[in-house]
Amino acid sequence: MVDMSSNFDSVNEARKGTYWQPFTSNRLLRADPEPRMLTKAEGIYYTSINGTRLLDTLSGLWCTPLGHAHPRIAEAVKTQVETLDFAPSFQMTHPGAISLAERIAEMAPEGMNHVFFANSGSESVDTALKVALGFHRIKGEGNRFRMIGRERGYHGVGFGGMSVGGIVSNRKMFAPCMMPGVDHLRHPYEPEYAAFSHGQPTWGAERAEDLQRLVALHDASTIAAVIVEPVQGSTGVLVPPVGYLERLREICTQNGILLIFDEVITGFGRMGAPFAAQRFGVKPDIITFAKAVTNGVVPMGGVIVTDEIYNTFMTGPESAIEFCHGYTYSGHPLAAAVGHVVLDIMESEDIFARVRALEPVLEEEVHGLKDLPCVSDIRNIGLTAAVDMKPIEGKPGARWSAVFEEGLRQGLLLRCTGDTVSFGPPFVASEQELRGMIASFRKVLEAVG
């Protein structure tokens, strides 16, 4: 249990900064008179340290779609710890990892039958990049070393993921140490496109031609892979225009380039299908996943690869280990057990159908905010949505703080980045709860103007 005893003053301890928090303005937080701490979670609600109930508008960090404190997951954790709490992942395994890989492969697009486990989205992305490099090298095309990412892409914080990612603030402190040979596509969203798209926009697909430019610039024979999030999540739900992903696929196929879909957010149901690949009808060569596979309860991630990629490794030059890569906790028994029960729940409750049924509700509600004078654009797809706010004059990107604080007052835990608020509610939220969430958010926007 967390130490909540009267002799542990967590508020004052937090102010000391012994715990250096990730992706957080630590200085601001330490000075905050209101402690920002959560102490309990159940269903779609958190409870903060001062007892306020907060609706979980982003499913944790896009990772708890089945809600919190699920009794079947709690039971699975307990049973697994008592049965097999750890198994070495090198030259040894356990049945749970194998059977989970099989279930994931069954959910994946046809011909993607091989799963390599990692523990986070960042590790999954770095694994995918290494698979791509290894694949070409085994085929005698070791000159294919370049990676193409995308502006505004987020692929985690490993050196590989950071390099192919396109978020300036995540890169600038480490700039000289990026992975070599990386270039970026332009992202398919421009402020002038801001047109309150419902689902996939019908404009902007021509941005896929940008890949032709990079192929011509670098020569196809030097490019290993293109990596994109099918829907850019962390930078504000940027939805692929109709035809965009299809065109990327075409150009990759024509040039022997692997296409990687980073499905850390979109995988396991958020698009109303197992993966975005199926929602958009475009099959990549590699899919990365994490987050929802274990409902955020135990860290897990991984990559799914095509038979061609796997077989290339398995039939390549004889070597003791075909792919010198892996983690102590790859396919961890606890994560595998939770993964199984998550997939059981998703199947037995027909969760993807539920997401498809809730999508129009979220769409209707969120676009109902269009009349507010501070709103500049709204986008949605699957069970995701984002609302852009007009920047405060002279202070672009400064909206988040006031909106976040007002959200807490209105009973919402909001995900605010710059002038954008993103929504990724739990799949188990009811229609009523989704409508209530947006109604409370309207009050937030009215209060901050």
- Binders of ligand PMP among 34-73, rule CB under 6 A? none
Least distance between ligand PMP and beta carbon 262 (Å)? 4
Q: Which is nearer to ligand PMP, 241 or 299 (CB)?
A: 299
Cα separation, 334 vs 295, in Å, equals: 13
Q: Is 133 helix (H, G, I), strand (E, B) or coil?
A: helix
Applying the rule CB under 6 A, the residues between 154 and 173 that interact with ligand PMP are 154-156
How many amino acids of this chain bind ligand PMP (CB under 6 A)? Answer: 14
Torsion of CA 74, 79, 83, 87, to 10 degrees: -20
Give the C-alpha distances (Å, rounded to integers) separating 235 from 94, 153, 199, 390, 444: 38, 7, 17, 16, 21
User: Cβ 191 to ligand PMP, closest distance in Å?
Assistant: 22
Per CB under 6 A, which region of 42-50, 121-129, 241-249, 380-388 contacts ligand PMP?
121-129
Smallest distance from ligand PMP to CB 182, Å: 16
Q: Which of 89, 120, 197, 384 forms a contact with ligand PMP (CB under 6 A)? A: 120
Give the integer Cα–Cα distance in Å for 112 and 283. Answer: 9
Minimum distance, C-beta of residue 174 to ligand PMP, in the bound complex (Å): 16
Q: What token pair was written down for 395?
A: 């202070």
201 or 230: CB nearest ligand PMP: 230
Distance of alpha carbon 365 from alpha carbon 140, whole angstroms: 53
Q: Could you tell me which stretch among 83-91, 119-127, 320-328, 370-378 binds ligand PMP (CB under 6 A)?
A: 119-127
Residue 290 touches ligand PMP, criterion: CB under 6 A: yes
- Measured CA to CA, the distance from residue 137 to residue 316 in angstroms comes to 10
Q: What residues have CB less than 8 Å from 20, skipping those under 6 apart?
A: 26
Q: Which of 64, 80, 89, 122 binds ligand PMP (CB under 6 A)?
A: 122
Dist. CA 305–CA 127, nearest whole Å? 11
Residue 290 or 336 having the CB closest to ligand PMP:
290
Instruction: Please say which residue, 124 or 410, places its beta carbon nearer to ligand PMP.
Output: 124
Q: What are phi and psi of 146, to 5 degrees?
A: -80, 145
* The total number of residues written for the chain in this structure: 449
Q: What is the Cα–Cα distance from 47 to 54, expressed in whole angstroms?
A: 6
Q: Contact letters (x/-) for ligand PMP, 239-278, by CB under 6 A? A: -----------------------x-xx-------------
* Residues in 185-244 that interact with ligand PMP by CB under 6 A: 229, 233-234
Positions that interact with ligand PMP (CB under 6 A): 120-122, 125, 154-156, 229, 233-234, 262, 264-265, 290
